[in-house]
Copies of this chain bind each other. A is one copy, B any other.
Amino acid sequence: MKAKDGDDQDARTFTQQARRAQIVQAAIETVAEVGYPNTSFSKIAQRAGLSSTGMISYHFARKPELFAEVVNTILRAAGDITATRMRTAATYRAKLRAYIESNFEFIARHPAYTQALVEIVTGIRFRDTTSLGGLEKAVVSVDGLTDFLSEGRAAGEFGRFDSFTMAVSIRGAIDNFLRQHMFDGDLDIARHGREVADIFDLCTRPGAGASN
């Protein structure tokens, strides 16, 4: 939610944004299908029905710019679902459950997005200079979740634990389900979402503390 978005929107025409969206969509699907390392402009162009890769270069100055938008698009979609569900929850404990379960909901509703994200997040070299320009940091970041847990602990709703460690664990548990889901599409995602929420509900209970 950057103010810079507004400028971007002004600068680009409607047609341009439509094309960009189309390309981004094709890129997501391609990554989801063949994997990030195997995703080339020509495959994306083919899927998008473009006549040449030049069309992609026309709309995106460079490869990282395209994938930055891809990641942005995915994160925005995921963030929308999560934020909405969390807002309607009253307590921190309920919000945590909403966070976890809505992430699983996103997996179920946007499998291609999910797959693409997993591919890109770790497929892109983290310290790569030609990379997403800080965006990969946003992807891996658990800052928001960490802060949320800290707030909840300050409010007395959670037990004793290190917020960062817990945040990494929660996020990792969710992401690992993405991967499992990529293998075994038969997983009951909603059920597993509830179970994971149960697990972390359990170990964040007030009174329960890291006893060592």
Q: List the interface of chain A (C-beta within 8 A of B).
A: 34-38, 118-119, 121-126, 128, 137, 140, 142, 161-162, 165-166, 168-177, 179-180, 182-183, 192, 194-196, 198-203, 208, 210-212
Of the listed residues A35, A137, A161, the one surrounded by the most CB atoms of chain B closer than 10 A to its CB is A35
In the complex with contacts A162-B195, A183-B140, A201-B212, A38-B173 CB distance below 8 A: no
Counting from the closest, the 5 A-B pairs by CB-CB distance are: A172-B176, A35-B125, A169-B173, A198-B210, A203-B203
Chain multiplicity (copies):
4
Q: Which residues of B contact A123 (CB under 8 A)?
A: 35-37, 119, 122-123
With the chains together, A196 CA to B199 CA distance in Å? Answer: 13
With the chains together, A43 CA to B165 CA distance in Å? Answer: 36
> Smallest CB–CB gap between A201 and chain B, Å?
5
With the chains together, A194 CA to B184 CA distance in Å? Answer: 31
Q: Are B172 and A125 in contact, CB atoms less than 8 angstroms apart?
A: no
With the chains together, A124 CA to B180 CA distance in Å? Answer: 14
With the chains together, A199 CA to B199 CA distance in Å? Answer: 10
With the chains together, A140 CA to B110 CA distance in Å? Answer: 21
Q: Which residues of B contact A142 (CB under 8 A)?
A: 180
Q: Which residues of B contact A118 (CB under 8 A)?
A: 122
With the chains together, A79 CA to B159 CA distance in Å? Answer: 33
Q: Which residues of B contact A35 (CB under 8 A)?
A: 123-126, 128
Q: Are A126 and B172 in contact, CB atoms less than 8 angstroms apart?
A: no
With the chains together, A176 CA to B128 CA distance in Å? Answer: 19
